[in-house]
Amino acid sequence: MPKTAILIGATGLTGSQLLKQLLNDVRYSTVKVLHRRSAGTEHPKLDEHIINFDAPEEWKDLVRGDHLFSALGTTLRKAGSEDEQYKIDNTYQYEVAKAAAENGVKRYALVSTVGAKANSNNFYLRMKGELDESIEHLGFEYTAIFRPSFLDGDRKEFRLGEKIGIIFAKLLSWIPGIRKYRPIPAETVARAMISDLNNEQNLPQNIYEMDEIFKLG
């Protein structure tokens, strides 16, 4: 039976790949996208909703379907402060996941990051780790957390630091301790997420690190 996918973060690097692949996937009859601005995409399967993430009471009933894909995120520079970045990368994603679980969505996939840890001294890794831990207790039938390193692909925005990191990670990827930080194409991550949620044998939770994401994608 065709499924309904729900997607947040559709304008980002991984999210845009998820949107493209979900729209082309015959297993889904509807792709419901919730975001702050339009993705600029037209498709018969696309059900787009422009929402205010700060007002969950206005949109929580929209978070209904079969599979939820969460790829929302920003940079500290773009957010302007750690508080604002935390709100986008952690709070918004948690609130959407919470609404989905309450509305009976069964399966959930989240883009996290390599090294995510709730007790990390690094703000970014701690923020991601806290979200990873909090969504584990929402009661989905199946939860998948993906922890890629540098995401490779054509971004709409230029990130100098990330570009430099990708170059060095590629050059040093043969070193065992550095290997887990090697770049991964965003389309590979998206493909792995979709494949994994459609594997009905996966219960109740998996956390995928780099090598496993490459294998899935």
- Residue appearing with tokens 């199946």: 142
Cβ proximity of 131 and 89 under 8 Å:
yes
User: How many structural domains compose the chain?
Assistant: 1
Residue 157 falls within a domain, yes or no?
no
160: in domain = no
Query: Can you list the positions of beta strands (E) in the chain?
Result: 3-8, 28-35, 46-50, 67-70, 107-111, 142-146, 151-152, 184-185, 205-208
Question: Mean of the pLDDT values across residues 167-191?
Answer: 68
Residue 140 lies in a domain: yes
Helix (H, G, I), strand (E, B) or coil at 131: helix
Contacts of 200 (CB under 8 A, 6+ apart): none
Model pLDDT for residues 52-94, shown as the tens digit of each residue: 999 999 999 999 999 999 999 998 999 999 999 999 999 999 9
Between 19-23, 113-117, 148-152, the lowest mean confidence (pLDDT) is in 148-152
**How many CB atoms lie under 10 A from the CB of residue 112?**
22
Domain of 88, CATH number, reads 3.40.50.720
Q: How high is the pLDDT of residue 86?
A: 97
pLDDT at 169: 47
Q: What are phi and psi of 69, to 5 degrees?
A: -115, 125
Most confidently modeled range among 149-153, 161-165, 191-195: 191-195
Indicate whether 212 pLDDT > 80: yes
Residue span of the structural domain in which 199 resides: 3-150+185-216
pLDDT confidence band for 156 (50 / 70 / 90): low
Q: What is the DSSP letter of 106?
A: -
Q: Is there a domain that residue 124 lies in?
A: yes
Label residues 66-88 b or e (16+ Cβ within 10 Å = b).
bbbbbbbbbeeeebeeeeebbbb
